[in-house]
Amino acid sequence: MGKLSGKIAVVTGGTTGIGLATARLFAAEGAKVVVTGRNAQTLAAAREELVGVADVVQSDAGDPTEVRKLFEEIGRQYARIDVLFLNAGIARFAPFADSQEALFDETIRVNLKGPFVALQAALPFLNKGASVIVNTTVGTERALAGASVYSASKAALATLARGAAVELAGRGIRVNAVRPGPITTPIFGKTGLSPEAIEAFAKWRAPRSSWRATIPLSSPGTSCPWMAACSPPDSTRLLPAARATSPRRAGRLRRRRAHFAGASWRRDR
Ligand SMILES: NC(=O)c1ccc[n+]([C@@H]2O[C@H](COP(=O)([O-])OP(=O)(O)OC[C@H]3O[C@@H](n4cnc5c(N)ncnc54)[C@H](OP(=O)(O)O)[C@@H]3O)[C@@H](O)[C@H]2O)c1
């Protein structure tokens, strides 16, 4: 029996790259998987590739109306979500001085507002033991030239996830952030970088000492164990700070969970 046998898993942005590989892994672990995407071509390709593996649904991850509709539909069909991987994201790179407002707005729309709306919309269907994973980037804590807007959107997402993790812990819902290093996926072709810059970026490796939790990754499949590690209901491996945790940290979270379970946010301030 797989780790996710009988579970309902939703992967936003699951038509290519990390999301697609993770959807396959979740399905191999026994989950019923729903993936989303926006682009008609990649949706069609994913539908062919994921026949019998996952349902592929068109939904713009940055459009609140479409996101709410998506989760209402999933709720109607399955009544619950056990694993929610908020993975859909865009990476448009530009030097800071040349970054236009339109790039900023689009990046925040898809990478930050989308997951915010999605997590809220999914809440009614997330029960005790559910796992939410948001996909951020090593760039949240490491300076990457040309990626200031992208990294900022993901840093905000990581912070949002951290806050949600503490608040939702009382309901037995785990929220984690993963922050992969460079992984070769179609995203590089959409960054706006030159082929030489893409090659240099893809070779970039985080120093091991300070980035042990991030580990250098190079193919979409290698990141999947991290998503899977977050997913089983009995997992305590990853807790809100997106790092591997120690028993002491797990104890701290349990105490915080008890604290939040017993007091309303307002009363507690
Ligand atoms: N690859 C890396 O080095 C790396 C490193 C760290 C973090 N990440 C993060 O990992 C996530 C997945 O990236 P990836 O590398 O696997 O890239 P990818 O192959 O380009 O995959 C992105 C996925 O998100 C979907 N997507 C993008 N915008 C969307 C929108 N508005 N609505 C719905 N779906 C949308 C894409 O679908 P469409 O084709 O339909 O647009 C695709 O399924 C992103 O959040 C990215 O920031 C990637």
Q: What is the pLDDT of residues 209-252, one digit of tens each?
A: 444 434 444 566 666 656 665 666 655 544 444 443 334 444 55
What is the spatial distance between Cα 8 and Cα 4, in angstroms, rounded to a whole number? 8
pLDDT in the model for residue 200: 74
Q: What is the CATH number of the domain that holds 189?
A: 3.40.50.720
Q: Which of 150, 157, 198, 245 is catalytic?
A: 150
Residues 6 or more apart from 96 whose CB is under 8 A from it?
A: 148, 149
Residue 267 lies in a domain: no
Q: How many helices (H) and strands (E) does the chain have?
A: 10, 8
Residue 119 lies in a domain: yes
Q: Is residue 150 among the annotated active site residues?
A: yes
Domain that holds residue 230: 8-259
35-85 pLDDT, tens per residue? 999 999 999 999 999 999 999 999 999 999 999 999 999 999 999 999 999
Centre of ligand 1 to C-alpha 237, Å, is 25
pLDDT in the model for residue 183: 86
Q: Is the dihedral of CA 39, 193, 85, 158 positive or negative?
A: negative
Q: Are 3 and 203 in contact (CB under 8 A)?
A: no
CA 197 to chain centre: 25
What is the spatial distance between Cα 56 and Cα 15, in angstroms, rounded to a whole number? 8
Name every protein residue with a CB atom under 6 angstroms from any ligand 1 atom. 13-19, 36-39, 42, 60-62, 87-91, 110, 135, 137, 180, 182-183, 185-187
Residue 204 lies in a domain: yes
Residue 69 lies in a domain: yes
Q: In this structure, what token pair is assigned to residue 173?
A: 């819902």
- Ligand 1 pocket test, pick from 20, 33, 38 with the greatest ligand atom count within 8 Å of Cβ, gives 38
Structural domains in the chain (count): 1
What is the spatial distance between Cα 87 and Cα 81, in angstroms, rounded to a whole number? 15
Find the range with the poorest average confidence among 35-49, 73-87, 97-111, 130-144: 130-144
Length of the chain: 269
pTM for the full model? 0.86
What residue owns the CA closest to ligand 1's atom 25? 13
Centre of ligand 1 to C-alpha 218, Å, is 15
Residue 137 lies in a domain: yes
Residue 264 lies in a domain: no
Residue type, 153: S
